[in-house]
Amino acid sequence: MTELRERMIHDMRARALSPKTQYGYLKAVEGLAKHYRRSPDTICQREVEDYVAHLFFERKYASGSCHGALTGLRFFYMITLGLKPNEFFLPSLRRSSSLPDILSTQEVGRLLTCVKNPKHQALLMTTYGGGLRVSEVVRLRVTDIQRDRMMIRVEQGKGHKDRYTLLSKRVLTALRTYWKIKRPQVWLFPGYTDRPMAVRTPQVVYQRAIEKAGIQRKGGIHTLRHCFATHLLEAGVDLRTIQLLMGHRSIISTMRYLHVTSKSLQGTSSPLDLLTIPGKPADA
């Protein structure tokens, strides 16, 4: 391990960055060094900008991936190397704004019904019923299911925050059926060993379920989290409550679901329908 790498790891740990974030930042710097075949501390700002442009235009990285690489490189140069803004400045990328592809409540019901494996069905139902991230659901412990309060405790979710979310009666029933068969001891959904289930496993379970249900939609298991928020909003739950259940730091993140809720969109008339056109009936 090089001295620069050790320094960067120390700086990231000192700021309590998650292992996933640390890995991403290190990969960004490694990619830059491999691209120019030089130590990253010898690469200038213009070269870094050209590298990010190379990722976006030639290697066809998504804007989110480029933004992640840019953040990691900015950390290395400004924190680890200690460069000042007037010495090193990387402008932020304009990130594309895309809306999630939301399943209807009927589609979610069909998806969950077609899953026959009790463990997998309980996994998907818990994810949707609590609006959980996949990284959160695989790290649930048996003790996180609080039946007396009908709540699920999410420990150290994104941003190192604890929170509580909903425990549906149907989810509890599915978990009881699953528990009678598998009897998990520590982790609610363990893998093949006594460790938590790998994040990849729920993704595969979801993809198989959506194909079996005959649903043609984009997205992975994170779609269930989007559906949780959208369906609550359509049911009349206020944004502040949804924000707390989702664990969003800012309510602005929750407000994006206003753009995808069918209830608010379908209840809005097109301005064309409000016009009075001479000699032409309004409903023609």
- Reading phi first (left if > 0) and then psi (alpha if -120 to 50, else beta), residue 37 is in left
Q: Which one from 74, 120, 133, 231 is the annotated catalytic residue?
A: 133
Tell me whether residue 206 is one of the annotated catalytic residues.
no
- Among residues 119, 163, 225, 226, the one annotated as catalytic is 225
Whether 176 is catalytic is no
Q: Which of 67, 119, 139, 248 is catalytic?
A: 248
Whether 133 is catalytic: yes
Q: Is residue 10 among the annotated active site residues?
A: no
Which is catalytic among the residues 35, 208, 222, 256? 222
Separation of alpha carbons 164 and 154, rounded Å: 6
Choosing from 158, 182, 208, 256, which is the catalytic residue? 158
Respond yes or no: is residue 257 known to be catalytic.
yes
Q: Which residues have a Cβ under 8 Å from the Cβ of 105 and sit 6 or more positions away?
A: 231
Catalytic site residue 46? no
Cα separation, 100 vs 229, in Å, equals: 11
d(CA 42, CA 50): 15
Please identify which of the residues 25, 51, 178, 257 carries the catalytic annotation: 257
Adjacency order of strands within the sheet including 151-157: 145-146, 151-157, 161-166
Among all residues, which ones are annotated catalytic? 133, 158, 222, 225, 248, 257
